[in-house]
Every structure is written in structure tokens, then in C-alpha cells.
Amino acid sequence: MIGRLVNDVLRKQPPEYPWGDTLPIFHQVDWRMCNLECVISDKGTPSSRTPKVFHFRSDAQNIKLLEVARIDSVSLANNHVLDYRYEALFDLLRILDRADIKHAGAGINFKEAAKLSISEIGGIKIGVIAFTNNEPAWEATEEKAGVFYVPVDLTNKLTTKLLEIVHEAREAVDILVVSAHWGPNFGYRPQPHHIPFAHALVDVGGDIIFGHSCHVFQGIEIYRGKPILYSTGNFVDDYAVDEIERNDESFIFILEIEGKALRRLAMYPTIIESFQAHVDKSRRAITISTKMKRLCHEFKTEALWNEKKDVLKLDYHEKLSIYLDTNMTYKMLEHTADVRMLVQGDSLEELFSDAVFGMMEILKPKTDGQKQPIQRTIALEAADTTALLIDFLNEVLLSAHINKEMYDEVIFKTLSKRSLEVNLRGFDTRSFGEDIKAVTYHEADVRETKNGKWETMIVFDI
């Protein structure tokens, strides 16, 4: 979203500014796409057709912003493309055409809004179809301009039409992207009815489902060998940051292709600061990636964090497991139950330590006689104390499984409500008697009681 305050900044800064330090990544790939969450135009007046608090428009000159990143295609099917009425939309379409940037999802009528956009790169045809379930009043018809509106309802006739269009498009391109601007704001997990809807899009020919709208990223599912990105989060905007559901965190998603087949997905963690996107190379990048890995776990999707290159990767296979480093794989058991544990402590240190010891009790480590002592260090930052504890426990869990270790001593070098550095001491183990899939945020709420103690409920996904 490059309107409002971002637009104000661009009147003083060059078009490269909002991209921060990410442009080298965009320049090294062959094809680039984004959801354009505003209208680029000097024309139009704020629309009053639907009740809105925010209207997003960026000056016409800011088409240069898309050009410097070499953006090839944009999705226009969203709830802001008509913020400044038809005059601005029609101007945007002309501006994009003059810049030779493909677009999908909005047009002068239904045929244009639902039209397949095609780019050809190195002999490979990449197609884009874009729809939204937002703003039904903006639905394009045979005689009215607007967006490709489709409710997320498999029984609706508009959905039937969408599936027919995707099926027909499959024959015209080598790789088909279906862009979906859907669902409510926020939520780290997709709406339940989005999942079968996304599956249906893949079943009729979609290769990549590119979801957005809810402002935070969600876990990625590999369905029939095709990646479903239910939500990719925010990349550039001027929005206020939610301290719990961090809408300033996302990724640059890079699909790697061999021949005409999708092989892997690389993800570079990004953050938004001062109306700029930045590739995060701090400890926060590990926190962001750990969160994504945990969300992907729920779809049994592979995730490998390459610390040397600050990138998270997914590989496509028939049987999916979780890659934790370059040499080892840990396979999660099927979900059977949750284990809930109430943890209390006289201090934050005691609360965090007891949470680790309780998790070790659930894992039931098994040893072979002589124990080899070990020590590990974990350093983390998080938005709040609850996120810090849950991220810390997930890091401990990952370390335990990767290295086949259990921990019986927690030594805090530093601990505050938002950061920690810890030395873990323990010994090697042959295996574990129980399997924890993830430490979840469900019911977690680290709080100080009236008598000065600390407590929280922790839910382990078994």
C-alpha cells in the first residue's frame, strides 16, 4: 500500500525508498508480482459508495516505484482499488498499460476484471487470475466496471464461474497463479472455509494460490504438490503495528522452478520500518521464521531455516515433514490431543525455567546409561512476554529434537519482558517417549498475579 503517508514520503524521496534494501532480491529473479492495495492516479475523489474510514491513492508519478523493482504483474482485486471511484481506476489501468505492467482482477467490465493476465519469461507462460471476496458493491458486471468479486462459498454460482475460468486458463499457460484477496483482518490461521476453497482452485488447475488481505502471514500448505499461501502479510504500508499480531512482519516469497515445474519456495523475512521494507537479518528474523515454521507445521509442510543466508525454504515432496537444518529431518506425529499445563513462578526466571522442565517431563527422554553433558545458548526478542515464552519453548523444543538432547538446567544471562539470552545445560538422549508437535499460543497469557507471582497456561500440541 503506497498511498497516504507513504505517498507523502514519496513526494520527497526517490521511488526506490519504500523498497529499502530489498531491491537486489527483486532484481535477481525472473518475474515479480504483488498485490497493489491502492490506486495510482492523480484523478478521482474519495468514494462514498461503501462505508470506509480509509481511502488509499498514490500519485501517478509513483508508477516509477513499481518500475524500479521491475514488477511484472499486479493484482487489482482488492478493497481499495476503487477508493477514488471509476475515474481513478480507469486512469490506473492506462498507467499500468503504458508501463507494460500486467494486471488482473479489475477492469471496465466483468470480462476484463476476470481476464487471464499472461507474462512470458524465457519461454514459460505465467498466468494470473485475481479475485476478492471484499466489497460486493464493487462487483464488475457485463455493463459495469469493478473488481472480480467472488464470495468464498463453493455453492455460489460466482464460485462456479471462477473455477471454470481457472480450468480454462490452465490450458493457456505453463504456471497459473490465482490471487485471492480474502477474509477478515488479522488471524495467523486461515478461515476454515478458505481451505477447501483453495483446494478446489488447485483441483481445477491453479499452481499457486497467492492469498492476502488479513495483514499478517499464515502457514503454507502444499496440496497436491502446489503451494497455497493463505496470507502473505504486509510488505510496505503506513499502518499502525499490532503488538500481538505483527502486521509489520512478512517475507519476500520466491518460487524456484526447474523446467516448468515448481520445486521449492524460498522466503526472506522482512519488516516494515519508516515506510520501508527491510530484509531482517537480526535475531528477529529467527523469531519470524520460527513463527512461520510453526504455522507450516500445522499443514505438515517442510521448512528449513538457512541461518547463513537468512532464508527459510520449503521443498515439495509427496510426503511432507519438517526440515530443521540441512542434515536432519523431524517427522511430526498425527495430532491426537492437547496437553495443557498451568505454570507458576515467583519470578519470570522461575516461570520460564519451570515451563522448560514441564515440557521435558512431557517428552519423557530415554537415555542409554552414560550421559554426555551438553550446553546450548538461545537468544530471542519478541513483542511481549507471552510471545517471548512461547517462542523460547519452541526454540528449546526444536533444539531438543534436532540434537537429541534433554535439558535440566536453565541459566539466564539476561531476561526482560521482551528479550532473553539463556544457556541450557543437560545431556544427550537416545529418543523421546512422547512427541510434541508444537507449543501453541492457545490460552497462553503470561501475567503477574496480585500476590506478585507469575503464571500462564501453556498448550502443547501432541
Task: Pick the more confident residue, 317 or 246.
Answer: 246
* Beta-carbon count within 10 A of 223 CB: 17
Instruction: Indicate if 229 and 366 belong to the same structural domain.
Output: no
Stated length of the chain: 462
Instruction: Indicate if 305 and 419 belong to the same structural domain.
Output: no
Question: At 237, which amino acid appears?
Answer: D
pLDDT-derived band at 318, boundaries 50, 70, 90: very low
Q: Is 200 exposed, middle or buried (0-12, 13-18, 19+ CB in 10 A)?
A: middle
Domain edge (last residue) among 282, 304, 330: 330
Q: Residue 197 CA to chain centroid, in angstroms? A: 18
How far are the Cα atoms of 54, 247, 276 from residue 233, in angstroms, in the given order? 19, 7, 15
Instruction: Indicate if 258 and 378 belong to the same structural domain.
Output: no
Question: What's the domain range around 290?
Answer: 4-330
| pLDDT higher than threshold 90 for residue 28 | yes
Average pLDDT, integer, range 2-23: 96
| Contact of 80 with 89, CB cutoff 8 Å | no
Instruction: Indicate if 258 and 355 belong to the same structural domain.
Output: no
Q: What is the CATH classification number for the domain harbouring 368?
A: 3.55.10.10
Average pLDDT, integer, range 102-107: 98
* Beta-carbon count within 10 A of 24 CB: 9
Instruction: Indicate if 320 and 389 belong to the same structural domain.
Output: no
Instruction: Indicate if 351 and 223 belong to the same structural domain.
Output: no
Instruction: Indicate if 353 and 269 belong to the same structural domain.
Output: no
Q: What is the CATH classification number for the domain harbouring 52?
A: 3.60.21
Closest among 379, 382, 389 to 351, alpha carbons compared? 389
Share of the chain above pLDDT 70, in %: 93
pLDDT-derived band at 316, boundaries 50, 70, 90: low
| pLDDT higher than threshold 80 for residue 89 | yes
3 state DSSP class of 262: strand
- DSSP for residue 233: B
Domain edge (last residue) among 262, 297, 330: 330
Task: Pick the more confident residue, 266 or 102.
Answer: 102
| pLDDT higher than threshold 70 for residue 114 | yes
Instruction: Indicate if 237 and 357 belong to the same structural domain.
Output: no
Instruction: Indicate if 378 and 312 belong to the same structural domain.
Output: no
Instruction: Indicate if 449 and 367 belong to the same structural domain.
Output: yes
Distance CA 387, CA 410 (A): 19
Q: Which of 38-52, 304-318, 324-338, 398-412 has the lowest mean pLDDT?
A: 324-338
Q: Which of 189-203, 366-380, 387-401 has the lowest mean pLDDT?
A: 366-380
175-181 vs 208-212, strand pairing mode = parallel
Q: At what angle do helices 283-297 and 385-403 cross, to 10 degrees?
A: 70
Distance CA 69, CA 25 (A): 9
If one counts the domains in the chain, the total is 2
Tell me the average pLDDT of the chain.
Answer: 88
Overall pTM > 0.75:
no
Instruction: Indicate if 106 and 12 belong to the same structural domain.
Output: yes
Distance CA 359, CA 81 (A): 49
Domain edge (last residue) among 330, 349, 382: 330
277-284 contacts, C-beta under 8 A, 24 or more apart: 277/18, 277/19, 277/20, 277/22, 277/235, 277/236, 278/20, 278/21, 278/22, 279/20, 279/21, 279/22, 279/25, 279/252, 279/310, 280/249, 280/310, 281/310, 282/381, 283/379, 283/380, 283/381, 284/381
pLDDT-derived band at 333, boundaries 50, 70, 90: very low
